[in-house]
Amino acid sequence: MRKVAVIMGSDSDLPVVTPCIETLRALDIPFCVRVLSAHRTPDAARAFACAAREEGFGALIAAAGKAAHLAGALAAHTTLPVIGIPVRSSALDGLDALLSTVQMPPGMPVATMAIDGGKNAALLAAQILSLSEPALSERLESLRAEMTAQVLAKDAKIQAQFES
Ligand code: RP5
């Protein structure tokens, strides 16, 4: 199976990235985790993106806050799917990172998650990889069924609580 790269702009982004890592682990997807910055280590970020396809990656996940150019900067150097996680890390509550990540020019897509949306980033990467991995598709179906069962159980509990 192709690997997923989880890249964060700073180690201070780790709390947002943790649910992403946990979800990849739960789905048994091989991954690596890196700190690379579009602004502080631009050469290393570029080199990573340029080599990623050849190194066996199938999707890149990039989490960054403030003027969050990491996902876009990686996308500029690869045609692999890039998934951006805007991180809430500044006075603007993550809106700065959201807009910096989502507003890519035509020809250069970044699939942008919700602010701090680490879990969905992992699930979207899994859905992309599942196109050529039937076993992963099955794991995704089970996860979805589990989630549905949990919500239905909560519905039943709430209905019972407010029964008149
Ligand atoms: C961004 O700046 C990082 O992704 C992080 O969200 C934010 C703050 O970085 P640190 O100053 O905590 O290293 O580039």
The pLDDT tens digits for 104-113 are 999 999 999 9
Mean of per-residue pLDDT scores for the chain: 97
Q: Is residue 37 within 6 Å of ligand 1 at its C-beta?
A: yes
pLDDT of amino acid 62: 98
- Over 90: is that where the pLDDT of 56 sits? yes
Torsion angle, CA of 95/99/101/107, rounded to 10 degrees?
A: 170
- Over 90: is that where the pLDDT of 7 sits? yes
Q: Lowest mean pLDDT: which of 64-73, 89-98, 150-159?
A: 89-98
Query: Among candidates 113, 120, 133, which has minimal Cα distance to 3?
Result: 133
pLDDT of amino acid 164: 85
pLDDT of amino acid 29: 98
Please tell me the distance between residue 88's alpha carbon and the centre of ligand 1 in angstroms: 10
- Alpha carbons within 13 A on the beta-carbon side of 116: 8
Q: Is the pTM of this model over 0.85?
A: yes
- Over 90: is that where the pLDDT of 127 sits? yes
- Over 90: is that where the pLDDT of 51 sits? yes
CA distance 126 to 85: 15
pLDDT of amino acid 90: 79
Which atom of ligand 1 is found nearest the CA of 13? 6
Which atom of ligand 1 is found nearest the CA of 65? 6
pLDDT of amino acid 19: 98
